[in-house]
Amino acid sequence: MNYMEVKYNNIGNGCGVRTSLFVSGCCHACKGCFNYEAWNRCSGQPFTQEVQEQIIESLKKPWIAGLTLLGGEPMMFYNVTALIALCQQVREVCPEKTIWVYSGWTFEELIQMPEQLELLKLCDVLVDGRFDIDLYSPKLYFRGSSNQRIIKLKETFETGNIVLHEKNNTI
């Protein structure tokens, strides 16, 4: 897996101050994407054990609420295995931290893919759906277009119904 960057002390990609990992590679090619540089899976640099350890260390800081996975597309088949390993380590070392993941696929599509489902079950929140420039609004919390949902995963898996995060509205 390659990644474009890690942003420490990031406040734009989930609740609280977060560590955000931007992975490389995306097949969606959404018109108006803010991170089109990450579409190529060979962009950026290799995700190494050293980078993973730096992320884990950053999560140990008391002001960091958690980890956010975005890109690119974290759910691409070539990213999922490394992200599962990262999230498993986060759950072991920092179980109180939340994990958010962004995907252009919908929840309904992702649960049909075994490895992607495994990753979802390690996460707390999914922001799903392709960015649609025609539905863009700067008044949306933590997403770019109104078709995207902020889904509370634990509650969704427990109830069998999509449970939206309280921030799934506008400012």
Q: What is the pLDDT of residues 107-125, one digit of tens each?
A: 999 999 999 999 999 999 9
Check residue 167 and give its pLDDT.
Answer: 84
Whether the pLDDT of residue 36 is over 90: the answer is no
Cβ atoms 90, 99 nearer than 8 A: yes
Closest CA to 35 of 102, 87, 99, 86: 102
DSSP 37-87: GG-STTSSEE--HHHHHHHHHHHTSTTEEEEEEESS-TTSHHHHHHHHHHH
CA separation, residue 53 to residues 47, 64, 84 (Å): 11, 15, 14
Reported as a single tens digit per residue, the pLDDT across 67-104 is 999 999 999 999 999 999 999 999 999 999 999 999 99
Q: Which amino acid is at 22?
A: F
- Residue 165 pLDDT level (bands cut at 50, 70, 90): very high
Check residue 170 and give its pLDDT.
Answer: 72
How far from chain centre, in Å, is Cα 151?
A: 12
Element (H, E) at 118: helix 114-122
Check residue 161 and give its pLDDT.
Answer: 97
How close are the terminal C-alpha atoms of the chain, in Å? 35
Under 8 Å CB-to-CB from 61, ≥6 apart: which residues?
Answer: none
Q: What percent of the chain has pLDDT over 70?
A: 99
Over residues 16-41, the mean pLDDT reads 92
